[in-house]
């Protein structure tokens, strides 16, 4: 489906330095990596790449420095088909980068250096030029996300929040601003102060819909998605897969969901589309190169 406007993603972009190991040790020691590579990371940035890979038009509006990491980040986004020209590099600022350790089972440890670019104010955003079919925001750049969510809401643009664990103040400021709130398990526990398996979790999600959200959900990996809409609370089973790497799967989920909403899919269809895209991504190793194209997602959904 050809959208009238692109999907704008606002938040963090990082350069990931990815090391593959056999297994995590029981205590700190020196390990030899079995593999190494660099990859684009950051929730909003990877979501933008997923949108482009799935056939949508994506723009990334986030703070990136004018350093070597920043140049690599912008080149990766451009190579993925994501438009990056709306926001200029922050002069003299350092970009975010992460050391990522991935074991043979696909589990990961991430050590991130935030950089100074995330300290930029929302004034670097060309808010007056916002024309989007949907807006996706993460919680890593709260000032920019808040300004963009407010602007998008005023324009009637669907808003999706990647509600990952972060600063308490940011999470509580951004969650009420989004029409579609999708938590990670740690993000939900931080926001609701209960685990997503708690008997109180459904009520916490339903309360967001009572307050005006179209969807409030928690992604739970192989246990599927717990979600609430104004019609009630339900669960969506996960696709049965053999996972080899989970890095970026949540970001792919959010990007695919934003694309599906922009295309006019129903809430449940959008969740299934996002779940399928994330599931396929988990069956592969390789950063953004592991994001599936649209036809593979549609094939899994058809099965």
Specify the pTM.
0.92
- For every residue of 144-196, which 3-state class applies, written as one string? HHHHHHHHHHHHCCCEEEEECCCCHHHHHHHHHHCCEEEECHHHHHHHHCCCC
Judged by DSSP in three states, 15 sits in strand
For residues 107 and 246, the answer to whether their CB atoms sit within 8 Å is: yes
Please state which of the ranges 102-106, 257-261, 289-293 shows the lowest mean pLDDT: 102-106
User: pLDDT per residue over 52-96, tens digit each?
Assistant: 999 999 999 999 999 999 999 999 999 999 999 999 999 999 999
**Does residue 286 surpass a pLDDT of 80?**
no
**Does residue 190 surpass a pLDDT of 90?**
yes
pLDDT at position 245 is 79
**Does residue 176 surpass a pLDDT of 90?**
yes
pLDDT at position 188 is 97
CATH number for domain 7-302, candidates 3.40.50.720, 3.40.1190.20, 3.40.630.40, 3.40.50.2020? 3.40.1190.20
pLDDT at position 110 is 87
pLDDT at position 268 is 97
**Averaged pLDDT, 196-204:** 96
Q: How confident is the model at residue 19 (pLDDT cuts 50, 70, 90)?
A: very high
Q: Where do the domains of the chain lie?
A: 7-302
**Does residue 283 surpass a pLDDT of 90?**
yes
pLDDT at position 18 is 87
**Averaged pLDDT, 232-240:** 96
Rounded Cα distance between 10 and 23, Å, is 34
**Does residue 102 surpass a pLDDT of 90?**
no
- Main-chain phi, psi angles of 75, to 5 degrees: -65, -40
Strand pairing report for 180-183 and 225-229: unpaired
Tokens (6 digits) for 226 = 């717990």
Cα 258 to chain centroid distance, Å, stands at: 10
Rounded Cα distance between 29 and 32, Å, is 10
Judged by DSSP in three states, 224 sits in coil
Cross-strand bridge partners of residue 286 = none
Rounded Cα distance between 210 and 134, Å, is 22
- For every residue of 113-133, which 3-state class applies, written as one string? ECCCHHHCCHHHCCHHHCCCC
**Averaged pLDDT, 157-178:** 96
pLDDT at position 173 is 97
pLDDT at position 287 is 75
Rounded Cα distance between 112 and 175, Å, is 23
- CA distance readout (Å), 259 to 72, 135, 136, 255: 25, 10, 10, 6
**Averaged pLDDT, 148-169:** 97
| Average pLDDT for the chain | 95
């Amino acid at each position: 489906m050809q959208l009238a406007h692109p999907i704008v993603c606002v938040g963090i972009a990082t350069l990931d330095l990815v090391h593959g190991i056999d297994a995590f040790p029981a205590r700190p020691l020196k390990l030899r990596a079995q593999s190494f590579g660099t990859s684009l990371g950051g929730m909003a940035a990877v979501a933008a790449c997923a949108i482009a890979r799935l056939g949508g038009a994506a723009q990334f509006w986030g703070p990136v420095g004018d350093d070597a990491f920043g140049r690599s980040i912008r080149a990766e986004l451009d190579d993925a088909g994501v438009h990056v020209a709306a926001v200029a590099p922050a002069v003299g600022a350092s970009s975010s980068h992460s050391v990522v350790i991935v074991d043979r089972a696909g589990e990961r440890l991430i050590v991130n250096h935030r950089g100074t670019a995330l300290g930029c104010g929302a004034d670097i955003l060309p808010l007056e030029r916002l024309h989007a079919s949907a807006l996706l925001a993460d919680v890593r750049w709260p000032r920019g996300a808040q300004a963009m969510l407010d602007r998008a809401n005023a324009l009637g643009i669907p808003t999706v929040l990647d509600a990952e664990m972060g600063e308490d103040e940011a999470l509580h400021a951004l969650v009420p601003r989004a029409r579609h709130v999708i938590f990670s398990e740690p993000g939900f526990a931080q926001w609701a102060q209960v685990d997503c398996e708690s008997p109180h979790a459904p009520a916490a999600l339903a309360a967001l819909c009572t307050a005006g959200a179209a969807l409030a959900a928690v992604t739970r990996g192989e246990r599927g998605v717990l979600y609430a809409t104004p019609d009630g609370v339900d669960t969506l089973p996960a696709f049965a897969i053999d996972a080899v790497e989970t890095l970026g799967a949540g970001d792919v989920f959010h990007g695919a969901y934003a694309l599906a909403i922009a295309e006019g899919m129903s809430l449940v269809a959008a969740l299934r589309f996002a779940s399928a895209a994330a599931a396929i991504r988990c069956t592969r190793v390789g950063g953004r190169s592991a994001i599936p194209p649209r036809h593979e997602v549609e094939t899994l959904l058809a099965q």
